[in-house]
């Protein structure tokens, strides 16, 4: 038997260490070092190269070139036909790329991929490798969802060597591995799902994909705390990592890119899980905005920019006298530091003291907002709750706040206002710099320069 070298690998950052330690020397995370057995046999480093175009990629020999000499043809994309999926990928699957789809068990990863592949199989050779469900279960699901079943190839297998052998013989354009946690690689002795198995299996498969120009889609499960189990160590091997998550209402799923070498990472795709599988939600504003007709204090609608499109979401704040010595600050769907900053600005430039109040703020629908354009909405919803004064239901608010109490313009102001008008909002409070020169139909736009001007609207 080949000599086996034992190493320890951090599940957080992937750093190697020759001995076990309580804390990772690189990223300083605690209790993250896991044993890793690396085989010394060269079998762990196979060469799948069959095609000259992919020489030099992922391990084979290559010649030096200038950038302009490099052929760009291979960058063309395959459109999956699932508009929301394509949007998150940055316009479709790039030839020869490796994509990781993460999510909790039951999020719908297998369903999404099965639906996508059944349709793509009509144009291209595809191979769906299932290690979790049997081929029969997949077939039954495809039948129930009424998907075309004639062209898609299914393989029930967990050994990556067998998978690449089979793939070599049928030459699929797209190879799906469901999931990477159940795969095992030759020469690695630890259990499937462990760091070493995940790392070696993924390395084996990405190597195959890169050297043959196959699109590789890996499915990965996430742990309870939301991080990808094991695959943290493979994030550098893949080109794009997307997460499928259920948001607030359990019927809806959001797909978001965390890393994408071929597109923007802030795109959000929205799906609904129905009894006929996943359906795209083309107009997400309508699902995140489900308000009662009556205006209530603390509730304010804002327009955030998600990748390439605007989305309307609701903020809810509750401000209540604190019963304990230390006031509580709770932000759900929003950065807690940003909330503290808003409260400081409100105190200093708006003259509203909240030091004796508990402040809770929530973004409705389980959406996460990272945009500073939501500042004005969060500060106004806090004031609205504090003063118990509702903002009329047909008003929408957006704008960034500066530390001097100035309201700063945000990108894509015009599109945000148009989106609000489309959803029946009649008045928009926006930074003066975002006020359009030409009036927009059905909506009155109020431009504000300072926080004080905005607060006047609630006084
Ligand atoms: P699945 O794709 O198996 O999830 P994953 O691969 O991410 O673990 O999806 C399973 C869930 O989706 C399951 O809880 C049931 C639900 N579902 C529906 O509601 N409707 C459907 O048509 C399908 C196929 C699944
Ligand atoms: Mg699954």
Give the annotated binding-site residues for ATP: 103-110
Ligand nearest to the Cα of 142, by number: 1
Residues 32, 24 contacting (CB under 8 angstroms): yes
- Each domain of the chain, given as residue ranges in start order, spans 1-41, 77-280, 287-456
> What does the H/E/C string look like for the chain?
CCCEEEEEEECCCCCEECCCCCECCCCCCECCEEEEEEECCHHHCCCCCCCHHHCCHHHCCCCCCCHHHCCCHHHCEECCCCHHHHHHHCCCEECCCEEEEEECCCCCHHHHHHHHHHHHCCCCCEEEEECCCCHHHHHHHHHHCCCCCCCCEEEECCEHHHHHHHHHHHCCCEEEEECHHHCECCCCCCCCCCHHHHHHHHHHHHHHHHHHCCEEEEEEEECCCCCECCHHHHCCCCCEEEEEEECCCCCEEEEEEEEECCCCCCCEEEEEEECCEEEECCCCHHHHCCCCCCCCCCEEEEEEEECCEEEEEEEEEEEEECCCCCCCEEEECCCHHHHHHHHHHHHHHHCCCCCCEEEEEEECCCCCCCCHHHHHHHHHHHHHHHHCCCCCCCEEECCEECCCCEEECCCCHHHHHHHHHHCCCCEEEEEHHHCCCCCCCCCEEEEECEHHHHHHCCC
Q: Which of 120, 55, 34 is nearest to 85 (CA)?
A: 120
CA distance 226 to 213: 31
CA distance 102 to 229: 9
Residue with tokens 């719908």: 108
Residue 142 CA to ligand 1 center (angstroms) comes to: 12
| Strands lying side by side in the sheet with 16-17 | 16-17, 4-10, 33-39
CA distance 371 to 294: 27
Residue 188 CA to ligand 1 center (angstroms) comes to: 32
Residues 107, 93 contacting (CB under 8 angstroms): no
DSSP tag of 427: E
Residue 112 CA to ligand 1 center (angstroms) comes to: 9
| Strands lying side by side in the sheet with 126-130 | 153-156, 126-130, 174-178, 215-221, 98-103, 240-246, 252-260, 268-274, 277-280
Residue 107 CA to ligand 1 center (angstroms) comes to: 7
Ligand 1: atom nearest CA of 104 is: 7
Residues 130, 182 contacting (CB under 8 angstroms): no
| pLDDT for res 38 | 60
State the Cα angle at 404 between 398 and 406, rounded to 5°. Answer: 35
Ligand 1: atom nearest CA of 244 is: 7
Give the annotated binding-site residues: 103-110
H or E element at residue 270: strand 268-274
Architecture of the domain whose range is 287-456: 2-Layer Sandwich (3.30)
Residue by residue, pLDDT tens for the chain (459 residues) are 555 667 787 777 667 788 888 988 877 888 878 777 665 444 445 666 555 444 455 555 677 888 888 776 656 789 988 888 998 998 899 988 999 998 888 889 999 999 999 999 999 999 999 998 999 999 999 999 999 999 999 999 999 999 999 999 999 999 999 988 899 888 887 777 777 788 888 889 998 998 898 999 999 887 655 555 555 667 778 899 998 987 655 678 889 888 888 888 777 888 888 888 999 888 777 777 767 778 888 999 999 988 778 889 999 999 999 887 889 999 998 999 999 999 999 999 999 999 999 999 999 877 788 899 999 999 999 999 999 999 888 899 999 999 999 999 999 999 899 989 988 899 999 999 999 988 888 899 999 999 999 998 877
Mutate which of 245, 273, 276, 277 for ligand 1? The one with the most ligand atoms within 8 Å of its CB, which is: 273
Mutate which of 100, 105, 111, 278 for ligand 1? The one with the most ligand atoms within 8 Å of its CB, which is: 111
Ligand nearest to the Cα of 147, by number: 1
- Ligand 1: which residues within 6 Å by Cβ? 103, 105-111, 141, 145, 273, 275-277
Assign domain 77-280 one CATH number from 3.30.230.70, 3.40.50.300, 3.40.640.10, 3.40.630.10: 3.40.50.300
**Is the CA virtual torsion 169, 171, 175, 180 positive or negative?**
positive
Residue 9 CA to ligand 2 center (angstroms) comes to: 27
Q: Name the residue with the closest Cα to ligand 1, atom 9.
A: 108
Q: Name the residue with the closest Cα to ligand 1, atom 13.
A: 106
User: Do the domains 77-280 and 287-456 sit in the same CATH topology, yes or no?
Assistant: no
Q: Is 202 exposed, middle or buried (0-12, 13-18, 19+ CB in 10 A)?
A: buried
Percent helix, percent strand, percent coil in the chain, to nearest 5: 30, 30, 40
- Look at the chain and count its residues: 459
| pLDDT for res 397 | 95
Residue 275 CA to ligand 1 center (angstroms) comes to: 9
Question: Taking the complete model, does pTM exceed 0.80, yes or no?
Answer: no
Mutate which of 106, 115, 180 for ligand 1? The one with the most ligand atoms within 8 Å of its CB, which is: 106
Ligand nearest to the Cα of 116, by number: 1
Mutate which of 108, 217, 279 for ligand 1? The one with the most ligand atoms within 8 Å of its CB, which is: 108
Ligand 1: atom nearest CA of 113 is: 2
Half-sphere exposure of 271 (CA within 13 A, CB side): 28
Ligand 1: atom nearest CA of 179 is: 6
Ligand 1: atom nearest CA of 219 is: 6
| pLDDT for res 73 | 64
| pLDDT for res 143 | 94
């Amino acid at each position: 038997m080949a000599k086996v070298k034992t190493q320890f690998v951090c599940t957080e950052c992937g750093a190697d260490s020759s001995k076990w330690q309580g804390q990772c020397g690189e990223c300083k995370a605690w209790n993250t070092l896991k044993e890793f057995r690396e085989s010394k046999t060269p079998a762990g480093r196979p060469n799948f190269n069959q095609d000259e175009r992919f020489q030099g990629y992922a391990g084979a020999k290559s010649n030096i070139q200038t950038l302009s000499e490099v052929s760009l043809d291979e960058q063309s994309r395959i459109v999956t036909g699932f508009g929301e999926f394509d949007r998150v990928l940055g316009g479709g699957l790039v030839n020869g790329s490796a994509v990781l789809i993460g999510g909790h068990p039951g999020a719908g990863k297998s369903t999404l991929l099965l639906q996508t592949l059944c349709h793509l199989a009509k144009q291209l050779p595809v191979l769906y490798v299932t290690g979790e469900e049997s081929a029969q279960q997949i077939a039954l699901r495809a039948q129930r969802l009424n998907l075309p079943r004639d062209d898609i190839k299914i393989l029930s297998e967990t050994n990556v060597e067998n998978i690449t052998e089979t793939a070599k013989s049928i030459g699929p354009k797209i190879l799906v591995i469901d999931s990477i946690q159940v795969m095992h690689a030759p020469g690695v002795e630890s259990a499937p799902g462990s760091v070493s198995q995940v790392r070696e299996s993924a390395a084996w498969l990405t190597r195959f994909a890169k050297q043959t120009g196959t699109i590789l889609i890996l499915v990965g499960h996430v742990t309870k705390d939301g991080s990808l189990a094991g695959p943290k160590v493979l994030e550098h091997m893949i080109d794009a990592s997307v997460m499928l998550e259920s948001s607030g209402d359990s019927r809806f799923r959001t797909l978001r890119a965390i890393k994408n070498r071929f597109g923007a990472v802030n795109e959000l795709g929205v799906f609904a899980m129905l009894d006929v599988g996943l359906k795209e939600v083309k107009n997400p504003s309508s699902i995140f905005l489900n308000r009662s007709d009556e205006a209530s204090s603390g509730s304010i609608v804002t327009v955030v920019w998600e990748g390439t499109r605007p989305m309307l979401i609701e903020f809810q704040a509750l401000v209540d006298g604190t019963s304990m010595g230390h006031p509580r600050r709770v932000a759900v769907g929003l950065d807690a530091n940003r909330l503290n900053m808003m409260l400081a600005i409100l105190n200093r430039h708006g003259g509203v003291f909240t030091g004796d109040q508990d402040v809770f703020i929530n973004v409705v629908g389980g959406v996460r907002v990272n945009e500073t354009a939501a500042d004005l909405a969060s500060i106004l919803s806090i004031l609205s709750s504090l003063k118990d004064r509702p903002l009329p239901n047909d008003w929408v608010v957006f704008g960034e706040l500066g530390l001097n109490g100035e309201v700063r313009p945000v990108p894509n102001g015009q599109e945000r206002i148009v989106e609000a008008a489309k959803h029946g909002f009649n008045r928009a409070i926006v930074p003066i710099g975002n006020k359009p020169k030409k009036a927009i139909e059905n909506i009155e736009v109020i431009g504000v320069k300072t926080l004080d001007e905005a607060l006047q609207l609630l006084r």
